[in-house]
Amino acid sequence: MARGGGRREEAASFTTSFTTSFSTAASAARGRGPLGLVCLALLCGLGAAEAEFAILEEAQVVAAQMRKLAAEELGVVTMQRIFNSFVYTEKISNGESEVQQLAKKIREKFNRYLDVVNRNKQVVEASYTAHLTSPLTAIQDCCTIPPSMMEFDGNFNTNVSRTISCDRLSTTVNSRAFNPGRDLNSVLADNLKSNPGIKWQYFSSEEGIFTVFPAHKFRCKGSYEHRSRPVYVSTVRPQSKHIVVIVDHGASVTETQLQIAKDAAQVILSSIDEHDKISVLTVADTVRTCSLDQCYKTFLSPATSETKRKMSTFVSSIKSSDSPTQHAVGFQKAFQLIRNTNNGTKLQGNTDMVIIYLSAGITSKDSSEDDKKATLRIINEENSFLNNSVMILTYALMNEGVTGLKELAFLRDLAEQNSVKYGVPDRTALPVIKGSMMVLNQLSNLETTVGRFYTNLPNRMIDEAVFSLPFSDEMGDGLIMTVSKPCYFGNLLLGIVGVDVNLAYILEDVTYYQDSLGSYTFLIDNKGYTLMHPSLTRPYLLSEPPLHTDIIHYENIPKFELVRQNILSIPLGSQIITVPVNSSLSWHVNKLREIGKEAYNVSYAWKMVQDTSFILCVVVIQPEIPVKQLKNLNTVPSSKLLYHRLDLLGQPNACLHFKQLATLESPTVMLSAGSFSSPYEHLSQPETKRMVEHYTAYLSDNTRLIANPGLKFSVRNEVMATSHVTDEWMTQMEMSSLNSYIVRRYIATPNGVLRIYPGSLMDKAFDPTRRQWYLHAVANPGLITFTGPYLDVGGAGYVVTISHTVHSSSAQMSSGHSVAVMGIDFTLRYFYKVLMDLLPVCNQDGGNKIRCFIMEDRGYLVAHPTLIDPKGHAPVEQQHITHKEPLVANDILNHPNFVKKNLCNSFSDRTVQRFYKFNTSLVGDLTNLVHGSHCSKYRLTRIPGTNAFVGIVNETCDSLAFCACSMVDRLCLNCHRMEQNECECPCECPLEVNECTGNLTNAESRNPSCEVHQEPMTFTAIDPSLQDALPQCINTQCNQRTESGDCFGVLDCEWCMVDSDGKTHLDKSYCAPQKECFGGIVGAKSPYVDDLGAIGDEVITLNMIKSAPVGPVAGGIMGCIMVLVLAVYAYRHQIHRRSHQHMSPLAAQEMSVRMSNLENDRDERDDDSHEDRGISKYQITSLSKILK
């Protein structure tokens, strides 16, 4: 973006202001030889006409250094040359055939669960026949099972007994109640063995017995009423229910009565699900609706978790009124809501409509009969408009055991709609649906009474399977779906059988769909709600269900509404729409490779999954680029294949790479879940030494004779292809002068193969293809891509990654499909060191007035003086140009076509994200555009061949420029408007959703959906005893580095400059390990939770690492160590009981992992005892192996 003649004056001013500051750099520059002289000449000695050229030249110098890093340290050039030589097969995506194959896989999974449900149903119904002659009443209480009968099970993530079922009882159960649990044991156990992904199986009886398998101690505080749970209610009454709850809080209702009414309303809310619609009203002299969403005033809302949460908050806030209750006003509003909802949506023929009135039934003394008559008249009139289809249920609130007979009679008349008694003639010949009246007092069990309100509704004897939407597993962990069916003996309802299925297993084929760069897939239900989409996190890592959102908000492109209608109405079909590039989705743009076109085609192919309520869709962005797949390769003879499970393999030369178990002998290979034909099975089952040996044998086998252990077809070729980098990395480890700044090198493939050096133990859930360094590289093919800084989970402190794609041929680099991504992690300070070495001006005054920086294409700083300043405010992740250089940020927003401020909707946390995207095709450089910015002059240009920019700022006086940023959270300061040229930090606003329709407000419905958030990252923690027992793989000898330059940016080293108060400068600075003065401050608190690195799910102990013989004296030592380790373990286990530590991502939109947010304790659910939960998560065994 070259500037015209009108800009010369600014350029001259910029050069003049720099000249005095730079003059002192002359001797330093001369000392650096030609490079230093180039720097000096470019920035100091040139006139205005040539100043424009200077920053461009500097950028070339920085670019040359980046290319050198990518070529020599990472080995990109060598790997690209090797991949050029391979033979590939080509594959083009065919949406129609793909969707058929995927739908078949998903149908087969659901069919297995339907078979399980049907088998269990048959056993229950047969058992009832036997029960009639020989009663089955034996009870096995879940809360009295001895702990010795249970053991930890990874599939359930808690302690269970896989041989027996157990029971929880409602308060109403009598001793002769039918209980088939003991008859079911063998069938349920067989089901569990033969069906992966299956979780809890249960029978919930109409008499109040809940039988669950496998047996588990849960819900042991008080009684358990499963019959008021959404799963039970929706199975025995599968028809949609439109419900209005009216809470009477008039003057005559006492505090005790009001509390009963509020508790009863909460029970009703917790018993319904998304298939139902709900509203809650309060009535005294006027009627009020929940104000947390404007639509609640007009319509009923689907009972989503968000609506139920808002309604619950509203109910909790109800206060007593001083005014008498106008019963008629409440009913008028209730009928109005039902009528509005019916008119606004296509009503299903078998929808039940019900008004539930929680009231004391007291009318005003002066006009009692008139009030009653007016109320019945309103009910009679309003219900006639709805063909008398609305049922009324009344619950009389007892006042300390006393309620007048008149009040009870009035409430009964309301429920029976007995208007004739009050002289109100019927307006229609259609009969009313009579409801019932029930009395509630302080002793009433609300779950068993109000929670069973649905028993008043007609039982249509619908004997069909019901599929729930995903919800959190209250007994174990993770997200589950339930498949359930009612059980009958003739017309007698016995209860329901249900199977909880792990959502991660059901959706694995959709989650790990990897057909081509230009295609993806999503799964919705028959109402359009989204279960899985590429912009959602993997179900395996979710603990809360995704927001109840329609697919139209994820596929937010013109003409998709028509596609959606077809998807929901036609069982099998396809459709192509043309989309203008300027209104496309960001992940569509990343898949477009023909730059310059104004529009592109999107092909949708869909199929209803047979026997379910779900629809699968495969999307292909056209024109489609063929996928290149490697043909059969052989492994490199000199390359040793070492799987990353060093703990299982007994690696004799193991060491610690910061906090990770590692080895320098060879890179290790990790196969993430996407490498396996059944990803869920891999994630849910523990890896054993035998499995690892099988993987290794298969992957190393050039004869192709060893059986495939469950890996995808192309994985072996990807492992063999990446083995070619081993020699280069090992050579660099011996020869490179930059080893003191490099944390690790790695290469990853689209199927999730990761090769990493130093070879390191990785967490099983790690997926390299979902990390920012991988995604950024794929979005910038052929460019050196910067990501970071972010806190390294392995313990190396803050790091910056540069990554680069590898292609099937060099010719396809700019547009082709990536066959691998290579990455290398450097310490945070390294890139600032590069700037200081290459541009001496950056080091003139310690970065106070003259500041140099590197910024990536979203505006986040990779190098800047404040990132390395010990007095800077930690953490250093997510520091944006708007935070640190507001004048530059304000000015560049006025440069046309350089930066765009974007919006996207994030449904995972219900926010609208605002972020920047900088134009990486910038030609020339930028300098001050706005006149009057005399305090600061800047220059900014792109570093050629990268996604980054280099900038220099010269600040001669304090600038008044600022960018709007919240100091306490990420909330935008003005959520009502966004101007392109207004400077503000990347921030977020609440996402406004109309709960009644599920649609977004008009303005926000135009925003594209955000791409998937960075997944929280975990790594397998190591037992504390290993910290001392194993040496560090790389010892940079910080204490022996006496000069700042020798210490700056070196692995695990900090130049300690500031005392522990964070203010006072030390008399004598020195170099020390990070843990002694993180960030350059003596004794500064590390951002890691502790120096023990207890971050993961599984603790690796000494015996798992080595098997080297030690002398005969070891026996005695072993005993002492064993006692000590067990004592430490017992203590830690007691303190951190149920700890399941995992990384929390920053609230910020993308990348970093901040370990100060680690959760030491899993959220405990109030009524779930979870005794002994998670003991087996820690693998503590004897130290005998190492000491033999």
Residue 479: what pLDDT? 86
> Does the pLDDT of residue 64 top 90, yes or no?
yes
Residue 385: what pLDDT? 92
Record the pTM: 0.81
Are 591 and 561 spatial neighbours (Cβ–Cβ below 8 Å)?
A: no
Residue 584: what pLDDT? 63
> Does the pLDDT of residue 109 top 80, yes or no?
yes
> Does the pLDDT of residue 44 top 60, yes or no?
no
Distance CA 912, CA 991 (A): 5
Q: Which residues pair with 786 in a beta bridge?
A: 802
Residue 46: what pLDDT? 33
Q: 129 — alpha (psi -120 to 50), left (phi > 0) or beta?
A: alpha
For residue range 883-899, list pLDDT tens digits in order.
899 989 999 998 888 99
DSSP string, 1037-1101: -GGG--SHHHHTT-TTEEEEEE-TTSSSEEEEEEEEETTTSGGGBTTPPPSSS-TT---SS--B-
Q: Which residues pair with 222 in a beta bridge?
A: none
Distance CA 857, CA 786 (A): 9
Work out the average pLDDT over 240-255.
Answer: 94
Domain ranges of the chain: 98-226+464-501, 239-456, 507-625, 1023-1092, 1098-1139+1158-1188
Work out the average pLDDT over 438-444.
Answer: 91
Distance CA 825, CA 796 (A): 10
- Kindly state the DSSP code that residue 592 receives in the 8-state scheme: -
For residue range 506-519, list pLDDT tens digits in order.
889 999 887 777 78
CA-wise closest residue to 267 among 321, 206, 311, 213: 311
Lowest-pLDDT choice from 50-59, 238-247, 822-831: 50-59
10 Å Cβ neighbour count for 128? 19
Residue 599: what pLDDT? 82
Distance CA 157, CA 159 (A): 7
CA-wise closest residue to 528 among 464, 592, 615: 615
First and final C-alpha spacing in the chain: 70
> Does the pLDDT of residue 16 top 70, yes or no?
no
In this structure, the chain runs to a length of 1188
Runs of H (alpha helix) within 507-645: 508-511, 551-554, 560-569, 586-591
Are 411 and 227 spatial neighbours (Cβ–Cβ below 8 Å)?
A: no
> Does the pLDDT of residue 443 top 90, yes or no?
no
Residue bearing tokens 């294409």: 857
Lowest-pLDDT choice from 346-355, 490-499, 738-747, 832-841: 346-355
Distance CA 790, CA 801 (A): 9
3-state secondary structure of 184: helix
Say how far residue 275 (Cα) sits from the centre of its chain.
25
Distance CA 1082, CA 1075 (A): 9
> Does the pLDDT of residue 333 top 80, yes or no?
yes
For residue range 801-847, list pLDDT tens digits in order.
999 999 988 776 655 578 999 999 999 999 999 998 998 888 777 65
10 Å Cβ neighbour count for 574? 18
10 Å Cβ neighbour count for 118? 13
Identify the helix (H) or strand (E) that includes residue 990.
strand 987-990
Lowest-pLDDT choice from 154-158, 667-671, 918-922, 949-953: 154-158
Are 459 and 490 spatial neighbours (Cβ–Cβ below 8 Å)?
A: no
- Kindly state the DSSP code that residue 41 receives in the 8-state scheme: I
- Kindly state the DSSP code that residue 399 receives in the 8-state scheme: B
Residue 492: what pLDDT? 94
Distance CA 34, CA 41 (A): 10
Residue 629: what pLDDT? 82
Work out the average pLDDT over 473-482.
Answer: 81
Distance CA 860, CA 772 (A): 13
For residue range 190-219, list pLDDT tens digits in order.
999 988 779 999 999 999 999 999 999 876
Residue 374: what pLDDT? 92
Lowest-pLDDT choice from 30-39, 534-543, 1038-1047, 1073-1082: 30-39
> Does the pLDDT of residue 24 top 60, yes or no?
no
Lowest-pLDDT choice from 270-274, 336-340, 654-658, 1016-1020: 1016-1020
> Does the pLDDT of residue 692 top 90, yes or no?
yes
Residue 1187: what pLDDT? 31
Residue range 239-456, CATH number: 3.40.50.410
> Does the pLDDT of residue 108 top 60, yes or no?
yes
Residue bearing tokens 């070879």: 759
Distance CA 297, CA 336 (A): 10
> Does the pLDDT of residue 185 top 50, yes or no?
yes
For residue range 1138-1180, list pLDDT tens digits in order.
333 333 333 333 333 333 333 333 333 444 433 333 333 333 3
Paired tokens of 1160: 């030491």
Work out the average pLDDT over 956-977.
Answer: 83
Task: For residue 1008, give Cα distances in angstroms to 296, 538, 547, 584, 1000.
Answer: 26, 20, 16, 8, 12
Paired tokens of 616: 């699968």
Identical fold at 239-456 and 507-625?
no
Q: What does the CA dihedral 40, 42, 44, 50 come to, rounded to 10 degrees?
A: 170
Residue 384: what pLDDT? 92
> Does the pLDDT of residue 900 top 50, yes or no?
yes
Task: For residue 1011, give Cα distances in angstroms to 515, 555, 674, 749, 907.
Answer: 19, 12, 19, 20, 10
Are 769 and 752 spatial neighbours (Cβ–Cβ below 8 Å)?
A: yes
Under the banding of pLDDT at 50, 70 and 90, the label for residue 562 is very high
- Calculate what percentage of the chain has a pLDDT beyond 70: 83
Say how far residue 270 (Cα) sits from the centre of its chain.
25
> Does the pLDDT of residue 150 top 70, yes or no?
yes
**Which residues does 380 contact at the CB level (< 8 Å), separation at least 6?**
417, 419, 424, 426, 427
Residue bearing tokens 């139209």: 552
Residue bearing tokens 């007892």: 398
Are 311 and 234 spatial neighbours (Cβ–Cβ below 8 Å)?
A: no
Q: Which residues pair with 748 in a beta bridge?
A: 754, 821
Residue bearing tokens 């009108």: 6
Under the banding of pLDDT at 50, 70 and 90, the label for residue 634 is confident
Residue range 507-625, CATH number: 3.30.450
- Write down the mean pLDDT value for the chain: 82
Lowest-pLDDT choice from 12-16, 400-404, 480-484, 654-658: 12-16
Q: Which residues pair with 353 in a beta bridge?
A: 242, 390
Are 161 and 214 spatial neighbours (Cβ–Cβ below 8 Å)?
A: yes
Distance CA 395, CA 441 (A): 10
Strand order in the sheet with 660-663: 655-657, 660-663, 759-760
Residue type, 144: T
> Does the pLDDT of residue 19 top 50, yes or no?
no
Under the banding of pLDDT at 50, 70 and 90, the label for residue 1100 is very low
**Which residues does 403 contact at the CB level (< 8 Å), separation at least 6?**
360, 361, 396, 397, 439
Paired tokens of 140: 């096995």
* Number of Cα atoms under 13 Å in the Cβ half of residue 985: 22
> Does the pLDDT of residue 368 top 60, yes or no?
yes
Residue type, 1183: L
Nearest-Å Rg of the Cα atoms of the chain is: 34
Are 556 and 584 spatial neighbours (Cβ–Cβ below 8 Å)?
A: no
Distance CA 270, CA 261 (A): 14
Are 21 and 850 spatial neighbours (Cβ–Cβ below 8 Å)?
A: yes
Distance CA 203, CA 120 (A): 8
Q: Phi and psi dihedrals of 1009, rounded to 5?
A: -80, 145
